[in-house]
Chain A
Amino acid sequence: MEKENVPQHDGNLSKKNLKELVYATDENGNYTTALSTGWEPKAIALSNAIDNIKERAEEAKQKVLNGEVSPICYFMELNKMDLGILAGYVEMWKWRVKRHFKPSVFAKLNDKTLQKYADAFDISIAELKNSITK
């Protein structure tokens, strides 16, 4: 990539002023570095990923309201996690976390277990239990 072609698109979705360093060639074909404010294909890929997470969280929320899954599932999606990551944070086996997705199992969880989930999602137990249905 030539230095004058280094993209300066509006890549930052939020207001933080991030510029990234890229390697590019100067007029003599020698490598140098330049700063880029962003690149459109990247920004689209990123917003695609974010939309996807929002959709997944929205679907999970609907399922919680329908009584199909427990709120754990919703908060997992909301926090951009998947089963493996959540299992890591609460230090439980994946199958156990998956079992806690069942509303009937979730209803019987003790506070100690609920606290682990609440900590992983950075919320209180009360929020974990009630914030969706409220």
Chain B
Amino acid sequence: MQVTFTHHQSAHCENGVASNLLKNSGLNISEPMVFGIGSGLFFVYLPFLKVNHAPAISYRTLPGHIFNKVANRLNLKIKRQKFSSVANANKALEENLKNNIPTGLQVGVYHLSYFPDEYRFHFNAHNLVVYGKTETDYLISDPVMETVTTLTHEEMDKVRFAKGAFAPRGQMYYPIQIPSTVDLKSAIIKGIKNTCRDMLAPMPIVGVRGIKMVSRQIRKWPKKHGVRKANHYLAQMVRMQEEIGTGGGGFRFIYAAFLQEASVVLGNEELKNLSKEMTQIGDSWRDFAVEASRIYKNRSAKEDAYNAIADELLDIANREEIFFKKLKKAIS
């Protein structure tokens, strides 16, 4: 059983699945477009929630939100299902494949056998597409992989029913209705407004203010938690930023690519300039990661080093504040 499906590699799993599924249904929409219209760029600091024994920092919205917003803003219909039993989840997936519907799944990373062992953590918000089934395997298009891959039936049950935070509960989703024409312009504007609102939100742990708060906390880490824990927190922050879904720098580059595309669609020159500015901010996020890695590589926690990277982060936050204010103005 195999559905016709073209695999395109992407930088981020949820964008990639959304873009690949929509392309497959005849709506040609790039990964950056999905990310921008879906308002994927976000920042939230959740010190009371520990992930891998460090405070949680997310550079993205909740799993599923990007695709849902894209669907909303482009008037598409997506069907989402969750299951309490493995048998029902398998039956529904099989039914889809029989009906020629490639299907998006939310899965846990821990049992994804095609990932290197070192990348397999208990992280449950990964996304992939199933486009076929053989006697032993499922045919998989995982958007972060260069080529298509497979999972055994047993592995598939495990990844669909992984446990812990954001347990996928067999979640599957697929577009059921796509209009022949979409209003890209209004969707882009809605997406941008949403992101500006999120990043400039008057809440201490969200958006630009959230980044500033992390910057203040970083200064305190070595004294408050000791060298080992402070370094672990910092390394964890960089991992969330650069590895688990290209959070800090990577997302800025995708967003800059989106703004560049959007400037053409909207005929708005200013967005092109802002795209360049976002690229520079993305580079600064990467510089931050380089400096942070120097600290935890040497396993020392000199307070001035921690203060220096906190300054760097604060500078990024200030620049993003100016940036999103300008962006808001550019589309109003």
Instruction: Tell me whether A23 and B11 are in contact in the complex, defined as CB-CB below 8 angstroms, given that A1-B282, A44-B235, A84-B164 are known contacts.
Output: yes
Interface centre among A25, A33, A80 (most CB of B within 10 A): A33
Query: Given A14, A30, A46, which contacts B260 in the complex, CB threshold below 8 Å?
Result: A30
Q: In the bound complex, how far is the Cα of B32 from the Cα of A104, in angstroms?
A: 56
Counting CB contacts under 8 A, is B190 at the interface?
no
Q: In the bound complex, how far is the Cα of B232 from the Cα of A82, in angstroms?
A: 16
Per-position binary interface string of chain A over residues 25-37, scored 1 when its CB falls under 8 Å from any chain B CB and 0 otherwise: 1000111010100
B260 touches A41 (CB 8 A): no
Interface-facing stretch out of B38-46, B72-80, B114-122, B191-199: B114-122
* B277-332 with Cβ < 8 A to chain A: 279, 282-283, 286, 289-290, 292-293, 296-297
B253 touches A80 (CB 8 A): no
Counting CB contacts under 8 A, is B238 at the interface?
yes
Q: In the bound complex, how far is the Cα of B164 from the Cα of A22, in angstroms?
A: 29
Q: Smallest distance from the beta carbon of B128 to chain A beta carbons, Å? A: 15
Q: What B residues does A88 contact at CB under 8 A?
A: 163-164, 167
* B205-237 with Cβ < 8 A to chain A: 231-232, 235-236
Counting CB contacts under 8 A, is B254 at the interface?
yes
A21 touches B256 (CB 8 A): no
Counting CB contacts under 8 A, is A123 at the interface?
no
Q: What B residues does A95 contact at CB under 8 A?
A: none
Interface-facing stretch out of A47-55, A57-65, A67-75, A124-132: A47-55
Q: Smallest distance from the beta carbon of A79 to chain B beta carbons, Å? A: 8
Per-position binary interface string of chain B over residues 101-126, scored 1 when its CB falls under 8 Å from any chain A CB and 0 otherwise: 00000000010001111111110000
Interface majority SS (helix, strand, loop, mixed), chain B: helix
Counting CB contacts under 8 A, is B81 at the interface?
no
Q: Which residue of A lies closest to B120 (CB)?
A: A80
Q: Smallest distance from the beta carbon of B162 to chain A beta carbons, Å? A: 8
A44 touches B297 (CB 8 A): yes
Q: Which residue of B lies closest to A5 (CB)?
A: B283
A31 touches B32 (CB 8 A): yes
Q: In the bound complex, how far is the Cα of B246 from the Cα of A132, in angstroms?
A: 38
Query: Given B110, B114, B250, B260, which contacts A22 in the complex, CB threshold below 8 Å?
Result: B250
Tally inter-chain residue pairs, CB-CB below 8 A: 115
Q: In the bound complex, how far is the Cα of B297 from the Cα of A7, in angstroms?
A: 18
Counting CB contacts under 8 A, is B144 at the interface?
yes
Q: In the bound complex, how far is the Cα of B167 from the Cα of A125, in angstroms?
A: 26
Q: How many residues of A contact B (CB 8 A)?
A: 37
Instruction: Tell me whether A18 and B11 are in contact in the complex, defined as CB-CB below 8 angstroms, given that A31-B257, A42-B239 are known contacts.
Output: no
Q: In the bound complex, how far is the Cα of B149 from the Cα of A18, in angstroms?
A: 12
Counting CB contacts under 8 A, is B265 at the interface?
no
Q: What B residues does A31 contact at CB under 8 A?
A: 32, 253, 256-257, 260-261, 275
Q: Smallest distance from the beta carbon of A15 to chain B beta carbons, Å? A: 8
Instruction: Tell me whether A45 and B144 are in contact in the complex, defined as CB-CB below 8 angstroms, given that A14-B118, A18-B116, A40-B293 are known contacts.
Output: no
Counting CB contacts under 8 A, is B276 at the interface?
yes
Q: What B residues does A89 contact at CB under 8 A?
A: 163-164
Instruction: Tell me whether A85 and B296 are in contact in the complex, defined as CB-CB below 8 angstroms, given that A31-B32, A42-B289, A49-B239 are known contacts.
Output: no
Q: Smallest distance from the beta carbon of A99 to chain B beta carbons, Å? A: 19
Q: Which residue of B lies closest to A41 (CB)?
A: B293
Q: What A residues does B282 contact at CB under 8 A?
A: 1
Query: Given A13, A19, A52, which contacts B146 in the complex, CB threshold below 8 Å?
Result: A19
Q: What A residues does B239 contact at CB under 8 A?
A: 42, 45-46, 49
Query: Which B residues are within 8 Å of any A CB, using their own CB?
Result: 9-11, 32, 50, 52-53, 110, 114-122, 144-146, 163-165, 167, 231-232, 235-236, 238-239, 242-243, 246, 249-250, 253-254, 256-257, 260-261, 275-276, 279, 282-283, 286, 289-290, 292-293, 296-297
Interchain residue pairs with CB less than 8 A apart (6): A21-B9, A22-B11, A30-B260, A31-B253, A44-B235, A45-B236
9 nearest CB pairs, A to B: A88-B163, A41-B293, A31-B257, A85-B164, A48-B235, A23-B253, A14-B116, A45-B238, A16-B116
